[in-house]
Structures are given as C-alpha cells and as structure tokens.
Amino acid sequence: MYAIRDAGLSVPDDIAIVGFDNVPLSAYTTPPLTTVDQTIIQQGREAARLMLDRITGDKARERREISLECHLIIRESSGSKPVHGTARLSSA
C-alpha cells in the first residue's frame, strides 16, 4: 500500500487490495485491509492428519483434495463499505 501511495495512486480509489490470512494488523492499516480469514486450527488438524498418514503409510500415495472453510472480511481497501460479520467463501 505504501508503494501504491508512493506512485501517486490511492487505495481503493485507483487500486483495490485484498490480503490473505487476516493477520491482526489488517484492521489497523490505512485504509483497513480486506482479507480472507481461514481457520488456522482446521489447517493444523489437516496437516497433522496428512503427516500421520505419511508416517504410517496409510494413503501415503493417494491423491487427495482438501477444502478448508474461509471467510472474506470486507474492509475499506477493496473499495467496499465495511461489513459487520463475514461472508462465507465456497470452493464449489
């Protein structure tokens, strides 16, 4: 966002920005950063399950697709008005 401002442009008037991971500072940038929030606990569980499968040889070579739930936290950097709550994203 600094580079955009240094180029004489404005967020979100000229360029909209959306981040990922919803780090705590996202809400305190200027303007506040729209971001995708994902459940870190669910990520950890899936990673542990994959690791255990690999260690035990269970399904180690089987190709799997894992979908994790995430939420779009709408803030001002995307050019939208802030929304209270979250929007659920689907990978369908």
Q: What's the pLDDT band for 4 if we cut at 50, 70, 90? A: very high
What's the total number of domains in the chain?
A: 1
Please check whether residue 35 lies inside any domain of the structure.
Answer: yes
Q: pTM higher than 0.75, yes or no? A: no
Per-residue pLDDT, averaged over 36-62, amounts to 85
Domain range for 17: 2-39+67-89
Determine the longest span between alpha carbons in the chain, in angstroms: 56
Measured at the CA of 76, the angle between CA 84 and CA 69, to 5 degrees, comes to 55
Residue 34's CATH number: 3.40.50.2300
Please check whether residue 7 lies inside any domain of the structure.
Answer: yes
Predicted pLDDT at 83: 58
Whether residue 81 has pLDDT greater than 70: no
Q: Which of the given ranges, 54-58, 62-66, 69-73, has the highest pLDDT on average?
A: 69-73
Predicted pLDDT at 57: 82
Nearest to 75, CA basis, from 23, 8, 9, 39: 23
Distance CA 77, CA 5 (A): 13
